[in-house]
Every structure is written in structure tokens, then in C-alpha cells.
Amino acid sequence: MRILFASKHDLDKEMEGSLIGILKPGSGEKVEIDQRMIIWHSSSDEAEDNDLNVEQWLDIASQYDVICGAFPPSAYIALTIAREEAEESGNCIRVFTPIAAVGRGFANLRIYKFLRWQEI
């Protein structure tokens, strides 16, 4: 099972363990997790953004079984379109985003506490 964590932040052990628990890979199935930051297209041209982001989703989905991360609105719209295209060819795009509680730390810095994964 190939998983992409699309983020500039590290996937910590709690998040990884929770994700593996949800995905339940088969016994002996190798789980490979890659991490890289994805730059999503956002401009004043919605149609072009959609086209470019759909291409990006389809490319990523061709390499990974599961995609995880926090995504901007332009990526969510393109995901909907990419899923329709993928389903026409019998493929599925599985995407998860982390759900976190936000608190305040020293000097009012935001602190994020991972709670769970949400499949979107």
C-alpha cells in the first residue's frame, strides 16, 4: 500500500498509527509512506486552476493508493472532478485529511492537537 502525506509538516507516529488503523492493510502487506509538499494552482482563472489541479490529482492517484493532507479549496473542487474521471476508468481516489483541535501556546502561537483522520 503506497500512501502520500502531502504536507510540509512531518507525519508523527500518532497520526501514522491512526491512519494505518483505519486503512487496515492486509497481513504481510508492505506499507510505504512518502511525504512531499504539493503546490496547488490558485489564480483568478478558475477553469485553468481546475484543469491543472485535476491533472495533478490524477497523476498523484496513479502513484499512490491513499493521499493524505490538508488541502486548499481549489484542490477540493478539482478532487471532485478528478474522482468522476477516475471512476469512469474504474479507479478510486482515496483521500484523508487530519482533524485537529486548535489552541493557543506561548506568545499566542497556534497549537494543533491531532484528533483523527476524516476521509473526504
Direct distance between the N- and C-terminal alpha carbons of the chain, in angstroms, rounded to an integer: 19
Q: What is the mean pLDDT of the chain?
A: 94
Per-residue pLDDT tens over the stretch 58-106: 999 999 999 999 999 999 999 999 999 999 988 999 999 999 998 888 8
92 close to 73: Cβ distance less than 8 angstroms: no
- Each domain of the chain, given as residue ranges in start order, spans 2-119
What does DSSP assign to residue 27? T
Q: What is the pTM of this model?
A: 0.89
22 close to 52: Cβ distance less than 8 angstroms: no
**Distance in angstroms (rounded) separating the CA atoms of residues 51 and 55:** 6
* pLDDT for res 4: 98
Q: Which amino acid is at 34?
A: D
With 90 as the cut, is the pLDDT of residue 45 above it?
A: yes
Among the listed residues 45, 43, 40, the one whose alpha carbon sits nearest the alpha carbon of residue 82: 40
